[in-house]
Structure 1
Amino acid sequence: MDLTLAKVTPLLAKPPSAAQTPRVEGWLAGLKVLLDNRYGDKLTSALEPLFLVFVADALQRRLDKLKQMIDSEGAGPFSARWNPASSLGAWFLQGELDEMDSVTGGGGTRTYRTAAPDSVRFGNLSRCSIWEEEGIDVPFS
């Protein structure tokens, strides 16, 4: 997927200013790497419009971060309560990631924990037959 400012600008609520444009282009390059790494060849031209909407929303949040990232603020900057979307490392909200995972076939994946083999769980305790042959009386716990 080719992320360019020309493709994303129509989807933004307010186009970036001339001073913000180099920063936004840098963000787009980073987002391209992030999306390519996460979804790879699942990013098809059919899904590009959907991903562009999510990228535009992420960019708009980043551009408006001072307005949208603080839930409440008291006296001074030391008493600001930041909302969960304020993380600088998190480009997309959890719901957006779930939706992108779902349309690319990665959603709904579950993992199940299974027991390890006895030799791993119990170590030498699973070798009771050897102890019996050697006459060692150690209770199995």
Structure 2
Amino acid sequence: MGRELGKAQQSVKAVVTGEDLPPHKIPPVGRLYGDSEGQASQGNAFYSNLKRINELEAELKGRRKDWLPIDEFKAENSEYRLIQRSNLVERFVSKQRNLKNELIEKDTPKEQAKVIDERITKLMAELNQRMKELSQEG
């Protein structure tokens, strides 16, 4: 229920600010709408992948700290190779979201915010694809 109230609030805000609102965020429509290429689905996969990569990073750090072997762990978890990249992408996405919010507050044209959204979605999709490839390898 809280999520639906949040969506309703976002819908009202989008109407007031003139911001584009993706269909999945419109209260009853969101339950029926799906887009595997859109920012919402890419974002969900992206944050799930980040969680997995962060777990791998913590495991590697712990093994190094405790002087445990890491070669076998790396062989079994090829996704570890995305640790640096995912950290960079995560920071970039955060900065881009902040920039987008600033643009919206300054009432800049919606197209500028849309370009930022597209950039974010592209980066998320690239990391998601790479994660998928590495998961299939291992």
TM-score (norm 2): 0.31
Q: Which has the higher strand share?
A: 1
Higher relative contact order (CA 8 A, sep 6+): 2
Q: Give the structure with the higher percent helix.
A: 2
| Larger Rg computed on CA atoms | 1
